[in-house]
Structure formats: structure tokens, C-alpha cells
Chain A
Amino acid sequence: MLDDHNDDRRGFLKCMAWAGTGALFAFNGGIGSSIGLDAAIAAPRKMALAPFSFVQVSDSHIGFNKPPNADARATFREAIAKVKALPTRPDFIIHTGDVSQLSRDEEFDDAEQMLKEAGLPVFFVPGEHDMLDPEGGKAFLNRFGKGSQGAGWYSFDHRGVHFVALVNVADLKPGGMGNLGADQLKWLKDDLAGRPSSQPIVVFAHIPLWTVYAEWGWGTDDAAEALKLLARFGSVTVLNGHIHQITQKVEGRIAFHTARSTAFPQPVAGTAPSPGPLKVPAEQLRSMLGITDALFVRGHDRIALIDSTLSA
């Protein structure tokens, strides 16, 4: 059993040849894995087995208009077109936050309108840029957080998979990183209680739930509390945004993955004076933006995540 699991992990690591900028998540019942887009296209038989897939988009920053991207609306529209063109129609979209640049109504409006073009349900979590209205996130919650609790957390089941949306951008503490808070952790404990360990879990939140780079605040202070609650499950996939680039790791039976932004790239941790936008030349921009596609295959042992770029 343990050996099987290790094989899965090796397979998972081996498959981390990223096609570019989006990821396809394939759920095979076990650890999430990612395969290159080429491999996915070359293996339509496997894809055909998939009972469902979903897509992650992140960090659309609608309203951003500075180098390297004078129009974050245009690139978000391209990302939506990319979702519509996927060979397997996803069941829904998750947006892992920073929908807007400054939490302005017109930014939220435009994001909502563009997402409607995909014709799919969309599940949101806020990023810190979505908390900037005078009431600290009410504008976002009123529009995208209906039925959620606290600062916007919730969960739902879809075809046997349990999806948990967490908020780690509310009530941030001076000197700290992302923060879930005691109320949300208590809610999570209750939400997971009584679920069989065999149920696949997908957790999504804006800021990474593991520490990618503390100096830039790329982590969540109390994530360990949440991960402890998830440790007993056989398949946990954690999907985040915030850092505008793909990073991933596997820890125990938890697979972590961050998605690209649809607006602008950020530097690799520690390679620049600050995490500000990476000012790449125009011709390079779309190769650094993209979407992530997730495919769930019942009865198989892993989740496939395919990242694809806007330039691909």
C-alpha cells in the first residue's frame, strides 16, 4: 500500500513537465498529478474516462493597466476563451482570488460579465485585492460570496469530491503572512468531521497554504492547523494563486499547486528586490499567463493538473 503510494508520488513528480500556462487537474481518486498538455492531447483515451474536470483561473487583477500588461481585461478575456476551447468541457470554474485590482465595482462587474461568457458556474475565494472597499470585502462578498460564511469560506460536494474554499486574506496581522483565523479553522474541523478518509478533497484559497517564501509573505501563518485536519485523507489537492507562477510540492498525501495569473507574472521567490510585477517584453507576456485545468478520473489513482499558457 505504502509502496503503491510511493510509486504514485514518483509518477506525479515525473509528470511535472509543464506545457506552459494552465493546468489540467485530473482526479484519479488519489494524489493530484499534473501532466504536460502534449501528453494529455496524446492520450485521449485516458481523458475520455474522465467523469469530470474543472478549471482554475487566478489573479485576473481586472483594472491593472501598468507594465507589463496595459490591459488585464484583454488577457482575462483570452483566458476565458481558452477555457471555452478546452477539449473536455469543465463542469465549473474556480477563481482563486484577486479578481480585481482595487475592489472597484466596475472591475467586479467586468470580471463577472467576462466569466459569464464561459457559461459555467464559478466558485470564488477573495484575494487581498478584493478586500479594498471601505467595508473591507463586503463588495466582493455581496457579489461573489452568496451563501458563504465569515469572510467568505464555504464547501460543497461535486460528484463525490469535497471542495473546500478557504479565505486567508482577511484580518491580516502586522508582520504576518496569510491568515485563516480561529473561527475558520473551527468551521473547517466541523466541515471535515465525519467524512470518510477515502473521499478526495480539493482545497482552494488565494495565498499559498504552504510557505513558498516568507520574506515576501508567500505563505499562511496558521496553515499547519488546517493541514493537520486534512492529513488523514487519502487524496488532498491544494490549489492557490497569489504568486502569479506555478509552484508545486507534495507533502504526505497532500499535493500543493499554485496557478499562473491571467494579468501579469511575478518574479521567482527571492530573485528580485520585491514581488512586484515582472516587467517582461510584450511578446513574452502571454507565455507567462494562463489557466489550470483539473481532470478527475474515477477509479484511477491521481488527479491530473494541466497548466497551459495564453500563448499556447
Chain B
Amino acid sequence: MTRAFKMLSFQASVLVACTLLLTVISDVVSAAPAPAPAASVSIANFTFKAQVLTVKPGTTVTWTNADDIPHTVTSTSGAFKSKVLDSGDKFSFTFAKAGQFGYYCALHPHMTGTVIVKA
């Protein structure tokens, strides 16, 4: 085994290591950004605003109770169900798939809303 070969072998190892490292870094970089889509619904005056909300798949919707009275966000199909939301409390749900999701307040069932998820 010559000294020159050993040198070459070392250089090759470094090259391989660097390539691997770059791959990892680029993976991390590409996974991180593209902020997840988000939308919000306020609960005020015993109504959901917006009453009908249209979002893209993957969107996280956050409801905030702005009333002095507790409310819930309860899916009619059972897809999601908040705990009771006292004044200022929030509830979030991420809609992964397309579809139409009706919901209501389990305390005041005349309060209804819909989230439409489409690409």
C-alpha cells in the first residue's frame, strides 16, 4: 500500500462524508419552511364567524371564544370535538382531507358552522 493511495483514500472518505452532510442539510432545509396553512374562526355573539369557511387541505383552523358565555366546537360527524371553551379559550383542528365539515355548539345548538376543505 503506497502513501499516495492512502492519501487518496482519505480524500475520498472526506468527500463522501461531505456529500452525506450536504444531503442531510438540504433535507432539513426543504422540510422546514412552507408554513402550514392556518385560518381562524371567532365565536362572538353566539355565532361562528365566518359561518362558512373554505380552506385548503392541511389547514389548521383555530376557534376562539370571544363571548362571556362558554361554547363548544362539536363536529356533526364526530370528526372533531372541543372541550368546553370558556371566554378566551381556543380550539384547533387540522383538516387533512377534502370534504365538508358541519359543526355546532353543543350548549347552544342553534349555533352552527361549516368548514369546506378543497384543494
Report which A residues bind B (CB closer than 8 A).
66-67, 101-103, 128-129, 131-132, 134, 172-177, 214-217, 273-277
Closest to B109 in A: A172
Select the stretch in B6-14, B34-42, B66-74 that faces chain A: B66-74
Q: Assuming A67-B68, A175-B104, is B47 touching A274 (CB within 8 A)?
A: yes
Contact indicator per residue, chain B 16-31, by CB within 8 Å of chain A (1) or not (0): 0000000000000000
Q: Complex: how many Å from CA A129 to CA B110?
A: 16
Report which B residues bind A (CB closer than 8 A).
44-47, 67-70, 74, 76, 83-84, 86-87, 102-104, 106-112
Most chain A beta-carbon neighbours within 10 Å: one of B67, B87, B108, B110? B110
Contacts of A177 in B (CB 8 A): 109-110
Q: Complex: how many Å from CA A177 to CA B107?
A: 10
The 8 Å CB contact of B110, one of A101, A134, A215, A276, is A215
Tell whether, in the assembled complex, residue B69 and residue A276 are in contact, meaning their CB atoms are under 8 Å apart. yes
Most chain B beta-carbon neighbours within 10 Å: one of A174, A276, A277? A174
Tell whether, in the assembled complex, residue A174 and residue B102 are in contact, meaning their CB atoms are under 8 Å apart. yes
Q: Can you add 19 more A-B contacts, CB < 8 Å, to A174-B112, A276-B46, A277-B69?
A: A102-B86, A128-B107, A129-B70, A132-B70, A174-B76, A174-B102, A174-B103, A174-B109, A176-B110, A177-B109, A177-B110, A216-B46, A217-B108, A217-B109, A217-B111, A274-B47, A274-B67, A275-B46, A276-B45
B64 → chain A closest CB, angstroms: 16
B106 → chain A closest CB, angstroms: 6
> By DSSP majority rule, is chain A's interface helix, strand, loop, or mixed?
loop
Q: Complex: how many Å from CA A277 to CA B107?
A: 15
B112 → chain A closest CB, angstroms: 5
A70 → chain B closest CB, angstroms: 12
Tell whether, in the assembled complex, residue A129 and residue B107 are in contact, meaning their CB atoms are under 8 Å apart. yes
Q: Assuming A102-B84, A275-B46, is B109 touching A175 (CB within 8 A)?
A: yes
> By DSSP majority rule, is chain B's interface helix, strand, loop, or mixed?
loop
Q: Complex: how many Å from CA A103 to CA B84?
A: 10
Q: Assuming A102-B84, A132-B84, A174-B76, is B109 touching A276 (CB within 8 A)?
A: no
Tell whether, in the assembled complex, residue A66 and residue B87 are in contact, meaning their CB atoms are under 8 Å apart. yes
Contacts of B109 in A (CB 8 A): 172-177, 217
Contacts of A277 in B (CB 8 A): 68-69
Contacts of A276 in B (CB 8 A): 45-46, 67-69
Contacts of A173 in B (CB 8 A): 109
Contacts of B86 in A (CB 8 A): 102
Q: Assuming A66-B87, A174-B76, A276-B45, is B110 touching A217 (CB within 8 A)?
A: yes
B66 → chain A closest CB, angstroms: 10
Closest to B75 in A: A174
Contacts of B108 in A (CB 8 A): 128, 217
Q: Complex: how many Å from CA A59 to CA B107?
A: 14
A68 → chain B closest CB, angstroms: 10
Contacts of A66 in B (CB 8 A): 68, 87
Q: Complex: how many Å from CA A273 to CA B49?
A: 14
B72 → chain A closest CB, angstroms: 8
Contacts of A129 in B (CB 8 A): 70, 107
Most chain A beta-carbon neighbours within 10 Å: one of B74, B104, B107? B107
Closest to B70 in A: A102
Tell whether, in the assembled complex, residue B84 and residue A274 are in contact, meaning their CB atoms are under 8 Å apart. no
Tell whether, in the assembled complex, residue A273 and residue B104 are in contact, meaning their CB atoms are under 8 Å apart. no
A256 → chain B closest CB, angstroms: 20
The 8 Å CB contact of B104, one of A103, A174, A215, A275, is A174
Closest to A173 in B: B109
A99 → chain B closest CB, angstroms: 14
Contacts of A102 in B (CB 8 A): 70, 84, 86
Closest to A169 in B: B107
Most chain B beta-carbon neighbours within 10 Å: one of A101, A172, A173, A273? A172
